[in-house]
Amino acid sequence: MVRVNSTNQAYDFLRPWSKEAPFVRRGLGVVIDNGRILVTAELVANSNYIELERADSGEKSVATVQVIDYEANLATLSSTDPKFLAGMQPVQTTTHVKTGDDLSVLQLESNGTPVSTRALVTSVEVGKYALEDSGYLMFRISCPLQFRENSFTLPIVKDNKLAAFLMRYDSRSQTVDAIASPVIEHFLTEAQHQPYKGFPRAGLAFSPTRDPQLRKYLKLQDSDGGVYVNQVDRNGPAAKAGVKEGDVLVAIGDKQVDPDGNYLHPVYGKLSITHLTTTEAYCGQQVTMTVIRDGMRKQLSVELFRRSSEDYVVEPYTIGKPPRYYILGGLVFQELTRQYLREWGANWLKDAPQRLVYYDRFQSDLFPEKRKIVFLTQILPTQDTVGYEQLNNLVVEKVNGRKILNLDDFAAAVKNPTDGFDKIEFEEDPHEIYLDAKQVDEDTAQLQKVYSLPALQRL
């Protein structure tokens, strides 16, 4: 184990030219093979500076992120000093963990002595990880933990092998949500290949078929089991293989799907079928989905792949990456991201601009085409924006007659003003505004100076 101290600084999505105040997160990393150190992605998200510290000697070294997966909440680091880990023993992982097993959560005393706390696995299930959209295998563990330095994330071991990584601890109920070893193994295996492909998804959503009236209507036998496919991502793996909304998914490979969407795992017991397509299988692999459509069984071969955050109309997360923006005469334009909406705080679903929250939530239904939502976020008042001061959070449809599907379109469109004016058309009131293109150009230097903007655009 090594101490990992990461100084992180996220971008401020309300002022996309700035970063928020930096803060430090301290956790523990585990030395695995080839000089790699495993940590959670949260620990080093938006990191500016990562420091490793040996518990035995107190010796420090700078580390860099090798591979990071925010969805699986895992990352590998390496020291810039190749000799830093000399003499340390790499740890193996184990997937032989069952409900009822005794594990140990490891911490370090301030003097470097390892402390181990006994922990009981209370359940194994697919649960929510750090990002709301991603669910992977999780060990729920009961254990009383005391706060110590570097406790942000902690390794959990069984028989001296890594079994899990502490991701969340609730001190009131004394329960731990831990990243389960099958997820860790999937990540480490995939991380050995360049480029890193991540965890695949089937690209479908399902609901139970317990309702006897629904089963009768769908002409399902009791022995069929199966779940009702209520959503298929456009261009996702399931869609490409021909899975359709309304199909009943009864098997994945040789695993039968029960009416609640579970299958029988040899070690963990009943488990959501999500685990089969996200963690058991790798990107590029084929799985066979058996569906019942109009009472007929069909077998479809699905090639699994990952959908990256960038592929969404509204990116579900933007971490370690600066937000794109374009400032035109004091009007600030950005591409909509969930991170922007999250700036409204814990109650962002209620407090953030409702139209934008709605666009994010129902993006797959609302926007069939590949695009981003470019919108006017705010106004830095100048003489060019007189009368526009109250405008904000307006989605841009066209600029100078050109349809705007991303910020690059926007940047290109403002190069071609019509009769000397930039015409910006919004989806809602006031529907259209104009800027004097020449005047905006002349005022740009002053705008940048008055508002101390480091740059007027980032594309």
Residues in contact with other proteins by CB under 8 A are 205, 207-208, 210-211, 213-214, 216-217, 228, 230-231, 245, 349-350, 354-355, 357-358, 361-362, 364-365, 384-388, 419, 421, 423, 428-436, 439
Measured from the CB atom, the residue of 275 and 423 that comes closer to other proteins is: 423
Measured from the CB atom, the residue of 391 and 412 that comes closer to other proteins is: 391
- Shortest Å, Cβ 436 to other proteins: 4
Q: Which two tokens stand for residue 185?
A: 């193994």
Measured from the CB atom, the residue of 344 and 421 that comes closer to other proteins is: 421
Measured from the CB atom, the residue of 104 and 363 that comes closer to other proteins is: 363
Q: What is the distance of C-alpha 327 from the center of its chain?
A: 28
- Shortest Å, Cβ 411 to other proteins: 20
- Shortest Å, Cβ 220 to other proteins: 11
Measured from the CB atom, the residue of 205 and 412 that comes closer to other proteins is: 205
- Shortest Å, Cβ 236 to other proteins: 12
- Shortest Å, Cβ 244 to other proteins: 12
- Shortest Å, Cβ 397 to other proteins: 12
- Shortest Å, Cβ 240 to other proteins: 18
For tokens 């591979």, name the residue. 67
137, 124 contact by CB (below 8 A): yes
Measured from the CB atom, the residue of 149 and 436 that comes closer to other proteins is: 436
Q: Which residues pair with 12 in a beta bridge?
A: none
- Shortest Å, Cβ 337 to other proteins: 18
Strand extents, DSSP E, 208-285: 227-232, 248-252, 255-256, 262-265, 269-272
Measured from the CB atom, the residue of 2 and 435 that comes closer to other proteins is: 435
- Shortest Å, Cβ 420 to other proteins: 8
Measured from the CB atom, the residue of 58 and 212 that comes closer to other proteins is: 212
- Shortest Å, Cβ 268 to other proteins: 25
The backbone torsions φ and ψ at residue 255, rounded to the nearest 5 degrees and listed phi first, read: -95, 125
For tokens 């071609």, name the residue. 416
Measured from the CB atom, the residue of 83 and 216 that comes closer to other proteins is: 216
Measured from the CB atom, the residue of 109 and 427 that comes closer to other proteins is: 427
Looking at residue 224, what DSSP letter applies? G
